[in-house]
Amino acid sequence: QKEVEQNSGPLSVPEGAIASLNCTYSDRGSQSFFWYRQYSGKSPELIMFIYSNGDKEDGRFTAQLNKASQYVSLLIRDSQPSDSATYLCAVEDAGNMLTFGGGTRLMVKP
Amino acid sequence: DAGVTQSPTHLIKTRGQQVTLRCSPISGHKSVSWYQQVLGQGPQFIFQYYEKEERGRGNFPDRFSARQFPNYSSELNVNALLLGDSALYLCASSLEGTSNQPQHFGDGTRLSIL
């Protein structure tokens, strides 16, 4: 049984701070890792993906992957109230099928 | 360009009925996947289709079935509905359904079972 674990939160950060979201996974064969943002009542929206160990930056977002520790994280710099949402970590096996964590709810307070 | 489109947006059914949900992928995408998201949880994988062939099936009962058409659109069917089938049903598409290809989600169909 493949598992993806996230702290459900809520994670509360002040506006302008760095939000750090973490995810661990059980399947060492996992190849690709995705972060989705989901606003309440909406569908998941892809914001980042990472395939190789290390960091990947895109604007205010940085994804970090450590396959040896089976750990992936998402950093959001200069957090804005509009970043308040649930962040879903998804892990892909060789067949492009995604296993999701339960999500972390982020609250950015003005 | 249009994203993934799903219909209907909302649906209310009673226990024991059958339902069909529809999905059109992003233009050029050949792979469609279906997920079920129960309130407060992450999406759970149901099916993946590529070129009309089933490529993967999650841990769901045989009451759930799906198919993909030559134009790459897809239908998800659920028979003998149970109260526990109440959820947001999400369709996602990717180029060819192989590794390292991001999946993009539609707005979902919210199914309520009374």
The pLDDT value recorded for residue B99 is: 76
User: Residues with Cβ < 8 Å from B45, sequence gap 6 or more?
Assistant: A97, A98, A99, B33, B34, B35, B56, B58
Q: Look at B43 and A101 and tell me if their CB atoms are within 8 Å.
A: no
Percent of chain A with pLDDT over 90: 90
- Alpha-carbon span A73 to A21, nearest angstrom: 6
Query: Rounded mean pLDDT of B69-74?
Result: 96
Picking from A31, A43, A100, the nearest residue to B108 by CB comes out as: A43
pLDDT at B3 over 80: yes
Chain B residues touching A49 at Cβ < 8 A: 102
The pLDDT value recorded for residue A85 is: 98
The pLDDT value recorded for residue B2 is: 80
- Alpha-carbon span B54 to B74, nearest angstrom: 11
Percent of chain B with pLDDT over 70: 99
SS3 for B69?
coil
The pLDDT value recorded for residue B1 is: 63
Nearest in space to A52 (alpha carbons), one of B45, B42, B99: B99
